[in-house]
A and B are shown apart, each in its own frame.
Chain A
Amino acid sequence: MHIGSGFLSPPVWGGLAVVSGAALAASLALARKRLDDRKVPLMGVMGAFIFAAQMVNFPILAGTSGHLGGGFLLGVLLGPSLGIIVMASILVVQSLVFQDGGVEALGANIFVMGIIPCLMGGAVRRLWSRPRPGWPADAATFLGSLVAVLAGATFVILFFGVSGALPAKVTLLEALAAMDFVHFFIGLVEGATSVAVVRFVVAARREAVFEVEEPALVKEAA
């Protein structure tokens, strides 16, 4: 879902650069106040993994592919502020080194693939902190990931609309329908992947994810 170069008008990409820049600065300030030692290597490898996973385009419908966004699962596992820092780092590397996503569209891409899904993922984080998260955590993560992908897709079209990038004969509603139809199917895969990855990381690295010692967590449940 990386917006390429030349699709957003200067007021749109400029405004979104300011919004995303401010959100990133706030995230860094929060992380600076409190950052668990175990979170740093987790942030690093989660970033590397999401970068790698985004290279794996899976076929969806005829002649279309999709790839993981990953922002939602980062919001669950790292919390919104660290998630935003990780997504922003990935998007900067993709844009500057791999020509994936326009450089001037970085703010927009961070907003759509970082800020929105990371905040949404952060909202269901608590469901996973219980010793046995169970189906509510799975369901919220699956549905949340799907909704986050659709929200991102919707914002992309709105940004195109405000930028005057949509062809004159296409109505905003038609554009939204085309974008969200494809992204509904991508969102289903995103949802299933989020559940699998969050389950795996919570099982393997519960202490780093929730910044607790294992015994304290068990006591909480009792």
Chain B
Amino acid sequence: MTAYNRKTLLLGAAIALAVGGIVSYFASGAPDGLEKAQEDLGMAEPAHAGLDAPPVVFEEYSLKGLGSGFWGNAAAGVVGSLLVLAVLLLVGYLLKRRKRPSPETDAA
């Protein structure tokens, strides 16, 4: 990896982890815009059969077992950010890898 890309990765990840792991602890717990609108309109309860993923490791944005305090939230922010980072790096890797080799590469 080039020094340029390494710096992008390290600086970007540091900012993301600081926001997800620390800043997010100070987030407002009030319902968000959509939840508030649904409450005001009297449609907070689902009308259809839906599908929610089961809370296996994380309950909303807290690590199960650590509760909704600072560390439970920090774990969610750090793991979630790193998970998104990993998914996207994998997608990027696959997109570059599956690219058809150019004629020059074939000849070489």
Interface residues of A (CB under 8 A from B): 1-10, 28, 31-33, 35, 37-53, 55-60, 63-67, 85-86, 89-90, 92-100, 102-105, 153, 156-157, 160, 163-167, 170, 174-175, 178-179, 182-183, 186, 204-205, 207-208
Contact = CB atoms under 8 A, between A and B. Distances in A.
12 contacts: A9-B48, A32-B99, A44-B85, A45-B12, A47-B87, A51-B20, A52-B16, A97-B53, A102-B51, A105-B50, A167-B43, A179-B37
Contact of B80 (A52, A164, A207, A208): A52
B87 A93 contact: yes
Interface of B: 1-2, 4-6, 8-9, 11-13, 15-17, 19-21, 23-24, 26-34, 36-38, 40-43, 46-55, 57-61, 73, 76-77, 80-85, 87-89, 91-93, 95-96, 98-99
B32 A44 contact: no
Contact of A43 (B11, B40, B59, B92): B92
A160 B46 contact: no
Contacts of A99: 52-55, 58-60
B8 to A, nearest CB: 4
Contact of A179 (B28, B33, B55): B33
Contacts of B24: 52, 55-56
B28 A175 contact: no
Given A64-B36, A65-B32, A93-B84, A44 B61 contact: no
Nearest to B23: A56
Contacts of B60: 98-100
Contacts of B92: 35, 39-41, 43-44
B12 A6 contact: no
Q: Is the interface of B mostly helix, strand, loop or mixed?
A: helix
A89 B32 contact: no
Contacts of B47: 6-7, 163-165
B10 to A, nearest CB: 9
B8 A55 contact: no
A37 B9 CA distance: 12
Given A97-B53, A204-B11, 16 more contacts: A1-B34, A6-B49, A9-B48, A35-B96, A40-B89, A41-B6, A45-B8, A45-B13, A47-B87, A56-B27, A97-B58, A163-B48, A166-B41, A166-B43, A170-B43, A183-B33
B51 A5 contact: yes
B52 A43 contact: no
Contact of A165 (B4, B48, B61): B48
